Structure 1
Amino acid sequence: MFKKYNWQQPIYKNDLLMVLLNGFLACLLGGILGGLLDYLLGGIIGVPISISLFLFCYMIGTRMNKGYISYHILYPVLSIVFLLLAMLFCNMTYVLCLLRGAGFWAYLGTGAFYLTTFFGFIIDIVNSFINFSLLGLILSLVNCGITIYAFFLCYRLVKGKN
């Protein structure tokens, strides 16, 4: 997968700039749309599973795949970084929908926001064990599986046929 000769191939400046631009725009727009989708489905309707990760994967994967002419192993790794950024933008949008004004900026300054952004499904699994909630445990494991599959899918979308 990560062979040494793959990293030694030349990176073309135009390809790298297009991949970075497409990836950042896709993670920004995907994060905003995903945060609004999570707010509408999770906060209002009550659907607990994060479906917005597949929106991120599709947007980031297709935009980054169209952004380069010559493939390099760095591009799928960058897609994982952009997927993490999209998760961050998604939670920022979700919190912005819930908290207005100074409460939003105060919550962004805490470490709990970033901990729940990247490790929220693990925290949910631990809380399900503590509270003896079988339904919460099943939903947390499904969210964990969706997250792992989303990272794998994003990597494969950018890698393409290579």
Structure 2
Amino acid sequence: MGPCGKDGGDVAEGLKSGAEHERRLSAGEPALWQQVVEQLGTALSVIDPAGRIVAVNPAAERLLQRAVRSVYGRDLHDLCHRDPGGALIPRERCPLLWALAERRSARGDDDRCLRGDGRLVPISWSATPPGGRRVRRLPGHGRVDRRDRGGPPCR
């Protein structure tokens, strides 16, 4: 068996030279970035200056257990940002909202996300305001297993 589990085959067999396989990707192509965001295993949401959700990727839909149509235009903080005990973090004490107001990067490692199914999941988050848009990345999900991302359980 070859390294890919095929009789007599190996990884090199799957690689073909030719114009169709040599096309270089350009970072300036919007389709490339859309594909990256959609396939990203980390939940990502884009919010407007008021903190309302304007876009989420499929990983965020899975984490939040909410369809994009049900979160569009909703305040991300009020919808799902919770403290380790599960309580809504007061807006005036929320480091994520402070970062949004001050247009600066921030991160948190011991918060919770309230999902559509009522379950709290531990999250780490970071927020970065690129240009005129503000983006919140909802967790570095090392602590959320594949069941929460729509895949089989981790082993």
TM-score (norm 1): 0.26
Considering Cα pairs closer than 8 Å and 6+ residues apart, tell me whether 1 or 2 has the greater RCO: 1
* Structure showing the higher strand proportion among its residues: 2
Rg larger in structure: 2
Higher helix share: 1
Q: Compute the TM-score of the two structures, normalised by the length of structure 2.
A: 0.26
